[in-house]
Amino acid sequence: MSQTDTERTNQPAVLDIDFCRSHFPATGNGWIYADSAGGSYVPQSVIQRVTTFMGLHRNQPYPHHGPGTLANEQLSNAYAGIGALVNAEPDEIVIGPSTTANAYILSNALRKSMSSGDQVIVTNQDHEANIGAWRRLAEFDIEIIEWRIDPATGQLSLDDLKTLLTERTKLVCVTHVSNIVAEINPVAEIAAIAHAANARVCVDGVAYAPHALIDVKAWDVDFYFLSLYKLYGPQLGVLYGKSEALAETENQSHFFYEGHRPQSLHPTGDQYEFVASAVGILDYIDAVYAHHFGTDRNSVHERASRVFDLFGSAEDAISVKLVDYLVSKPGIRVLGPQTGDRTRRMPTIAFRTDDLSSQSIARSLAARNIAAAYGNFYSIRCLRGLGIEDVEDGVVRLSLLHYNSTQEVDRLIDGLEEALE
């Protein structure tokens, strides 16, 4: 490492948002994008890898000839890279079509390891992806226990979880961050509580992954979901499974994959060009790292840790500003923590007003080239648990990422002032 690189690595850094935005072509489209919870913008590095794969060596990834070997290498690199990013081994990772699909496959794969009368705990805070698949196990005489949120705050109580656990509990399913409430749940503590009762834990990290580094080993979770299309990547979902937890699953693919994990949890097979493009996420993280800290030989996970720290600090500033504005307005109910502090919540902010429909507010913002969303966001049970029955109109949801600037948030607040008149 050069002296310059050493000096840069040892210095604290502030995120260069203009540098980050330069990697995302869509940031130049004239819109303020406050809908990243529905899918983030995609950096050029991901786009280029899709183009390269499809344009130069589109082929089955069989190492029988040059193009097949190149395709195989790119897919292998994707599994290794995503695994390293979340601190997992490549054979503990399934890259499937979506988190919803991965959850259904996993629930079917675990069904025969459960017996009549066994229990699965789900929350009413989760997106339906980590609820619906498990609830269907009731068809096989598995008892579904609901861990319910506080109807005022949207919080989950660990004391409540402890009272729900029994000797028949096999699995606890919980979100890391609700896509409505946005509070950061203590998944390491939840995993420890579940394991003490001899239950496994399955975490939906879709709304967490774009904002902070995942560390499945440090948290000791058994299963963890994330979606690459919300982590600056292609429209794919990722399932992590701890090796010993995967060993309990039943084959969901071709008969010849029996005993071959994680292939046995991947009945659809890889979408080659998009799986290959997932490495572009790491390309982007590495570019941000090199720009702020220089080049070194730290691991993928170590480099990503420093980059996500930068992302978090930048997001904290804009989230605090936006939440502070909303909670100061009479007649607005902000769901979840009443602060934008990143130690409490992620910058996904859902709210309702006393007088205006969520639809009208979102449309008013869109007329000002501000992309916001409204509705239930597949979290109907969560909204009803919070006392919101009009789940079609639901809530207005503003969701930010590190590439949103302070100036954009200022314009967003100005737009809200006009929309709320």
Average pLDDT of adjacent 10-residue blocks, the chain of 421 residues: 44 87 97 98 98 85 85 93 97 96 97 96 97 96 98 98 98 98 98 98 98 98 98 98 96 92 90 96 97 90 97 97 97 97 96 97 98 98 98 98 98 97 84
Q: Crossing angle for the helix pair 44-56 and 279-293, nearest 10 degrees?
A: 140
State whether residue 170 is helix, strand or coil: strand
Q: What confidence score (pLDDT) does residue 169 get?
A: 98
The helix or strand, by DSSP H or E, that contains position 358, with its residue range, turns out to be helix 358-366
Q: What confidence score (pLDDT) does residue 269 get?
A: 87
Say if residues 397 and 373 touch (Cβ distance below 8 Å).
yes
Say if residues 416 and 325 touch (Cβ distance below 8 Å).
yes
Q: What confidence score (pLDDT) does residue 95 get?
A: 97
Q: What confidence score (pLDDT) does residue 1 get?
A: 37
Hey, how many other C-beta atoms are within 10 angstroms of the C-beta on 419? 21
Supply the pTM of this predicted model: 0.95
Which among 154, 152, 180, 150 is positioned nearest to 349, based on CA atoms? 180
> What stretches of 213-356 show up as alpha helix (H) in DSSP?
216-219, 243-246, 272-277, 279-293, 300-327
Q: What confidence score (pLDDT) does residue 11 get?
A: 53
